Amino acid sequence: MTGTREIIPILDFGSQTAQLIARRVRDAGVFSILVSPRISAAELKAMNPAGLILSGGPSSVYESGAPACDPAIFDLGVPVLGICYGMQLAAHLLGGKVQGANHREFGRANLSIGGRSPLFAGIPDKTVVWMSHGDQVTEHGGLFEPIASTPTCPFAAVKMKGREFYGVQFHPELTHTPHGTDLLRNFLYEICKVRGTWRMSSFAETAAAQVRERVGTSQVICGLSGGVDSSVVAALLHKAIGRQLHCVFVDTGLLRSGERELVETTFRDHFRIDLRVVDAERDFLSDLSGVSDPQEKRRRIGHRFIEVFKQAARDIPDAAFLAQGTLYPDVIESGHGHAGTSAGIKLHHNVGGLPEQLGFKLVEPLRELFKDEVRRLGEVLGLTEQLVWRHPFPGPGLAVRVLGEVTKPRLDLLRACDVILLEEIVAANLYRATSQVFAVLLPVQSVGVMGDGRTYEHCVAIRAVETQDFMSADWCRLPYDVLARISSRIINEVRGVNRVVYDISSKPPATIEWE
């Protein structure tokens, strides 16, 4: 969906923060995408970019097999910003010298800006930046002029003579660089001269138009789960094709309390979408009877879901497309684009099995968006705050939060605990401040005392995490009084629970879900 919009391709050399660069550029009002460093200058030129950014990376430019790029990209006539490895690679390709520094820099460093450059417009002459490098440019071959330095890095920022190339040895995309966002905005607005027209409202119109062009008069099926991604897909497709959209919601019996009612109220009653609800609780619980192994649970749930969905799809005549909520991190994580793919953009390969088994073509209107952008799009499309800001929920549902065998009584017990947990988190105004909060029913019982009697009942674990991308996460330091209320209410109100514990594990080494 590049069209005529402003675009900043980011050549990704393996940096852990490449996604963050893209998000910072988008937040500044300019659309950006990650592309493979193998992309040719001709492919980049065809994208009509406003500028280019070369990301950092873990390699050394002089290592055998280190990622490189087409040197002709520096002759495209558009501004280029090299970050860390990207700066070193440019120097290496254009006649400078890069070598291991006497002093490695990892962490905060004091930057001194020498002379004024549009890259540092409005930024104090003395500031702090975040360094993470062992190599640095040691000779510039007369091509670069230094525009900033640190005590141990004389070429902390450079400008190429005669070309619009800028390089920085530090990481402006990180919040640890206080004026990093200002630097990126300067590159975009002062050097690339962008207008900053990237808005979610305009994305909604463009995406809807592209969906209409792709599907024509065909019918489209969307699997609704009640989560943010599928809900936004459904709302966008409804805007695009109206009655050609048919949503299928499978009630597995493994859902959160009130999930089915929320979906029906939102999509059938409010949006007037053709919503088909399949009540398959008995089938799913029958498949899970006697099963405790987490992977076997997932396998059986996935198999049954495909069977149920296939049956529902047969009742929708002329359906040719299946809509999925693939997001940009899914696209990125699947690896760089292969030969023949448009502009070397990384591709996502669907692993759900549904398109192949049903013979559908895919519609993935969110595949250019990050999670926070999907939430903003949901707001633009009129979804309620309750839906847009919901915490993620695993595909297998509560089956992976009921450790051990999954039965209806154990699911009901966990649902009752989860309702209390979320009520208290919302009441304490902590729901938006946390990324994911849920209860886990453990496969152990413990001794307790209630009244004058001895009990031997279930133990429930509380999990609360904060994260930017769910690739890593830290446990939330919830206030003790909130934890106390949660524990007291669960033990007093949920029959069968006499102990509540709090999970203080981070990811890694632990995972967010217990199974």
User: What's the alpha-carbon Rg for the chain, to the nearest Å?
Assistant: 26
Catalytic residue among 6, 69, 84, 164: 84
- Cβ(418)–Cβ(258) below 8 Å: no
Question: Would you call 447 helix, strand, or coil by DSSP?
Answer: strand
Q: Is 84 a catalytic residue?
A: yes
* Residue 335 CB neighbours (<10 A): 12
Nearest CA among 94, 129, 466, 406 for reference residue 254: 406
Long-range contacts of 429-433 (CB under 8 A, 24+ apart): 430/476, 430/478, 430/482, 431/389, 431/391, 432/389, 433/466
Nearest CA among 348, 333, 366, 329 for reference residue 229: 366
Tokens for 196, please give them: 């900053």
What is the C-alpha separation between 130 and 178, in angstroms, rounded?
9
What is the C-alpha separation between 4 and 121, in angstroms, rounded?
28
Q: Is 173 a catalytic residue?
A: yes
Question: Would you call 67 helix, strand, or coil by DSSP?
Answer: coil
What is the C-alpha separation between 222 and 275, in angstroms, rounded?
9
What is the C-alpha separation between 48 and 93, in angstroms, rounded?
23
Catalytic residue among 92, 133, 140, 171: 171
Catalytic residue among 6, 43, 173, 424: 173
DSSP strand pairing (245-251 vs 274-279): parallel
What is the C-alpha separation between 232 and 324, in angstroms, rounded?
10
- Cβ(148)–Cβ(113) below 8 Å: yes
Q: Is the dihedral of CA 106, 110, 112, 116 positive or negative?
A: positive
DSSP at 402? B
Question: Would you call 478 helix, strand, or coil by DSSP?
Answer: coil
- Cβ(440)–Cβ(460) below 8 Å: yes
- Cβ(195)–Cβ(341) below 8 Å: no
- Tell me which residues are annotated as active site: 84, 171, 173
